[in-house]
Structure 1
Amino acid sequence: MKKSMQWSFLIVGAVIGAGYASGREIWLFFGPNSGRAILLFSLVFAVSSYGILSISYRHRTNHYKPVLQSIVGKTASYFYDWMMIIYLIFTTIIMIAGSGVTFEVYQVPKWFGILFIVFMLIWAFSYSLDQVININTIIIPVLLSILFIILFIFINKQPDLEQTSVLSPNYLKAVSFTSVNVLPIISVLGAVGHKISSKTEIILTSIISATILGVLSWVYNHSLTLIETEIDLYEMPIYGILVHFPNLVLIVITVILWIAIYTTAIGSMLGLISRIQTVIHLSQLKIAVLLVLLITPLSFVGFQFLVELIYPLYGLLNLYILFRLMIYPLQNMFKEKMIK
């Protein structure tokens, strides 16, 4: 159970980054009247996670390429390998940009927030892989607990705010949201496949991570629905919720938001570094330094622009991977019967 929780927090940490924790990504893919769409996302996410974990475990992977090859085949995996590299680079850029935005809330220059997360990323990768995973395991439960508490308090305090939209739930966007998050999960789980110890661990991890993300997505999306007329006033919609709280809560959530950004940046860079090490034999610290030096200038493009450009695009491009993951349990069952 302990290991399952560890992998679950690794998965959740890969998903809850600047786009998700700020509310921008949730509102982009869900929006009003999306309870059933979020349930669909949870189910599809659980099956996808099960497939990725099973493949990583079977191949005892230490980077994501063998996982991609098992999902889409050797030929298509070359295309998706490059897609993965580009995605992880852009995700890291988005996280670095998001750090700049959180600092701007307090009138601190964006560049200071960007440099701060860069130094913190270099610090994280000065430790071993197990220590990097442990950092994530400690941070994520704290992040989730505080975010849940704030959202529940907000919902309970706002009974007089009514939903103004009557749009139907967009199930296709729910599937697209899952496919967006397939790549970061493949990248982080591919790096630790050799550390997974049993099939029970895989099943528990899939259920726990999907449940956490499903419940949090519903609570967060419902909170945003209550302020939907104000969302466009904020680059990070969560601040539309936080204006209803004292300044102390604003400070706490800003710190939590930054931590969410930080854990996703760690997950993205972990996937990149483990892949790069198969080609270039350098320490993870040296590769981390080189990466941040190369990509940090691009983070000044703008947080909201990057989220709204990259995530929907990859949501479409990853649909084939998602389809293959959805049929993986059936294929696996069929192969086992054939062997018997």
Structure 2
Amino acid sequence: MWRNGLLWMFLIIGTMIGAGYASGREIWEFFGVESGLAILLFSVLFMISCYVIMNISHQFQSVHYLPVLHLLLGKRISKLYDLMIILYLFSTTVIMLAGGGATLEVIHLPFWAGVILIAFFVVILFIWDVKGITTIHALITPILIITLLGVLFAFQSLHGFPIKNISDGQSNWPSALTFTALNILPLVSVIGAVGQKIIHKGEIWIASIGSGLILGLVSFFYNESLVEVANELVLYEIPLFAIMTHYPYYMVLVMSGLLTVAIYTTAASGVFGLISRIKESVQSPSWLLALFLVAVMAPLTMFGFSTLISILYPLYGVLNLYLLASILLYPILNHRSIRDKINH
């Protein structure tokens, strides 16, 4: 039970800690000053969301996310969210492949070579299907968390742990809702695909509580560190590097590697969500489907997707609030039978 629970926990955290989170960009966009309560609320909301989604997934023994959407939203509305998830996973994975190519240019690897390298490792992963994606997250995610927390704790210790977000006002608490909502789509797509693999109910508790606590802790210390260098953030595209100016150059290279790994895990999770959705209709090995998907995505990395994302992300943010509300209200309204909710 504990082993599987930890596997699901690392899968959830690895899906959440993508390049945007690891770079600090998402943290700073949503939180900043007066956000201690917001991060605490996010942690609680995230635990509840994970528990509800995993519980439904386990109940249905699902192999993709559609049964979860049907139960939460009904068949009609879930069609819209199904399309949204496919668009989100596809566009995010394209951006991750492009980001991987750009990041590896730091070591003088041509852009296309970087894209192909990231894509190659994503495809190789799916030779082992679900076991491959859970294993890679179980190996990589702890390293990501430990390295990131180590850097943040060291930075805080240099400044005497000047924690400000507890005693200050907490006017930024609504950010907890939007931050959780924006991250709910990949959560549903990945957790909804492993219901058949969950054996014991205790695995759900371990994964939900563990992921919420760890992400809450990392988010809090990351945000506190960014508040300390707030005046320098305008100079950096990647907020993490504002913190890294206080470290030797080799540590910058280490954290660049960490960002590359975060990009890889996000790309892998995106492909996993897409494969789990289409595998029921297309009878092919997972690695072959992964190869097809990255082959379609690779040419698109040459286009700038910032315009597309600037349109899609605000749309996701608004529409996801409805999905988040449905998830949070599900335990309260669960007096209705599953059959009635599906046929609604």
Q: Hey, what does 1:4 align to over in structure 2?
A: 5
Gap change, CA 1:72 and 1:306, over 3 Å in 2: same
Q: Is the 8 A contact 1:20 1:26 kept in 2?
A: yes
Shift of 1:128: 3.0
RMSD: 2.4
Contact 1:99 1:117 in 2 (8 A): yes
Tell me how far 1:207 sits from its aligned partner.
0.6
Question: TM-score of the superposition, structure 1-length normalised?
Answer: 0.91
The 1-side partners of 2:221 and 2:163 are apart by: 15
> What's the CA shift for 1:104?
3.7
Corresponding residue for residue 341 of structure 2: none
Matched, 1:247 2:237: no
Question: Equivalents in 2 of 1:252, 1:80: separation in Å?
Answer: 38
2:197 corresponds to which residue? 195
Distance in structure 1 (CA, Å) of the matches to 2:70 and 2:295: 30
Q: 1:209 maps to which residue?
A: 211
1:77 maps to 2:68: no
Q: CA deviation at 1:255?
A: 1.3
Give 1:226 shift: 1.2
Offset of residue 287 of structure 1? 1.2
Q: Structure 2 stretches of 5 or more lacking a match?
A: 339-344
* AA in 2 matched with 1:86: L
Q: What does 1:108-127 align with in structure 2 at a 5 Å threshold? A: 108-127=109-128
> Would the aligned equivalents of 1:23 and 1:236 in 2 still touch at CA under 8 Å?
yes
Matches of 2:292 and 2:256 in 1, distance apart?
28
Alignment of 1:1-340 (within 5 A): 1-106=2-107, 108-159=109-160, 169-302=171-304, 310-332=312-334
Write out per-residue CA displacement over residues 203-258 of structure 1, whole angstroms, 9 at most, x where no aligned residue: 22111110011111111111111111222322221111112211221121111221
Query: Does the 8 Å CA contact 2:37/2:170 hold for their aligned counterparts?
Result: no
| Equivalent AA in structure 2 for residue 32 of structure 1 | V
Q: Is the 8 A contact 2:63 2:276 kept in 1?
A: yes
Between Structure 1 and Structure 2, how many residues are aligned? 335
> 2:342 — aligned with what?
none
TM-score of the aligned structures, taking structure 2 as reference length: 0.90
Distance in 1 between the 2:161 and 2:267 partners? Answer: 38
Alpha-carbon distance in structure 2 between the residues aligned to 1:178 and 1:198: 26
TM-superposed CA distance for 1:299, in Å, is 2.8
Report if the CA contact (8 A) 1:162-1:226 is conserved. no
Q: Tell me the distance in 2 between the aligned counterparts of 1:218 and 1:295.
A: 35
Contact 2:163 2:224 in 1 (8 A): no
Unaligned runs of 5+ in 1: none
**Structure 2 counterpart SS, 1:229:** helix
The worse-fitting range, judged by mean Cα deviation, of 54-63 and 304-313 is: 304-313
Per-residue CA deviation, residues 64-100 of structure 1 (Å, 9 max, x unaligned), is 1111111111111111110110011112122212213
Please give the secondary structure, in 2, of the residue aligned with 1:31. Answer: coil
